[in-house]
Amino acid sequence: MSGLFHDLERSSSGARVAIGELLTAARWNADGLIPAIAQQHDSGEVLMMAWMNRAALEETLATGRVCYWSRSRQAFWRKGETSGQQQHLVEARLDCDGDTLLLKVDQSGPACHTGRRHCFYLRLTPEFGEVDSNPLISPETLYGQKR
Amino acid sequence: MSGLFHDLERSSSGARVAIGELLTAARWNADGLIPAIAQQHDSGEVLMMAWMNRAALEETLATGRVCYWSRSRQAFWRKGETSGQQQHLVEARLDCDGDTLLLKVDQSGPACHTGRRHCFYLRLTPEFGEVDSNPLISPETLYGQKR
């Protein structure tokens, strides 16, 4: 782990470091990505987890509109560009060892591509997994002919 | 993505699949791991993100005590084993495409190795990152001579 994160963990509330230095020290994986958890800022619901590269994070911080990196499409993924269900940034946070982001967001409508509010609709028990929510909007309505 | 997840996304609330089938279809990465987000069940605070292999998840579901896989130590990491700050499982969830877990937990004391309540204490702005919480307990108290 970078010495910067060791230094920061011993720092008191209010200590600051320039964003460029922090993002250079962050622990991007072999593909240059970091997982980003999106949480609805007021209700506390965890909506989804997706990935960001440095450029996607910098764009998100600059514009306030959440932009991920799509691993399947290998392209920027500006949330809501196709579905219309945008994600606006309220607060971005990096964790203690610089390898995970927490984004507090304001998500309009469903965050999940299935049309459900959030992606975590499979509840697990030791015996089974169970679907426990239904779509708010059908994927066909969300994505139309584009899907 | 596995056909099982495509089938489940079109299923209504209440649809079930055997846990073995679901975990076989889950999208473990090249190291056999899936990221797991830990959220305090009542307050909604996102505490940390760590990794699980299938055996760690099965143990967690069976025992109700959260067990991760430590990538640095390449060993099971039963949260609280060294620090005493245990994590008890309230609910486990898998996401739409089977590659991320959300664990609703009851975390006693600090979840972060720095002694802070949660790991996401670096708030980001376009210009800087800022430490915005202090440890509840010093790491020396948490880990004693073992660290």
Q: What is the pLDDT along chain B (147 residues), one digit of tens a residue?
A: 679 999 999 999 999 999 999 999 999 999 999 999 999 999 999 999 999 999 999 999 999 999 999 999 999 999 988 888 899 999 999 999 999 999 999 998 999 999 999 999 999 999 999 999 999 998 888 887 544
**CB neighbour list of residue B138: distance below 8 Å, 6 or more residues apart:** B115
Side chain identity, residue B59: E
Burial category of A91 from C-beta neighbours within 10 Å (exposed 0-12, middle 13-18, buried 19 and up): middle
Specify whether the CB–CB gap between A136 and A115 falls below 8 A: yes
Q: Where are the alpha helices (DSSP H) in B10-138?
A: 19-25, 54-63
Judge whether residue A146 has pLDDT over 60.
no
Burial category of A80 from C-beta neighbours within 10 Å (exposed 0-12, middle 13-18, buried 19 and up): middle
The closest of A43, A44, A7, A38 to A22, measured between CA atoms, is A7
Closest residue in chain A to residue B9, using alpha carbons only: A114
Evaluated on CA atoms A132, A138, A143, A145, the torsion sign reads positive
Please state the CATH superfamily assignment of the domain spanning residues B3-109 in this structure: Phosphoribosyl-AMP cyclohydrolase (3.10.20.810)
Specify whether the CB–CB gap between B135 and A96 falls below 8 A: no
B-chain residues within 8 Å CB-CB of A43? Answer: 44
For strands A46-52 and B122-124, give the pairing: unpaired
Burial category of A49 from C-beta neighbours within 10 Å (exposed 0-12, middle 13-18, buried 19 and up): buried
Evaluated on CA atoms B85, B90, B92, B93, the torsion sign reads negative
Closest residue in chain A to residue B99, using alpha carbons only: A49
Judge whether residue A2 has pLDDT over 90.
no
**Whole-number Å distance between alpha carbons of A37 and A56:** 14
Contact B120 A49 (CB under 8 A): no
Every domain of chain A and the residues it spans: 3-109
Contact A124 B94 (CB under 8 A): yes
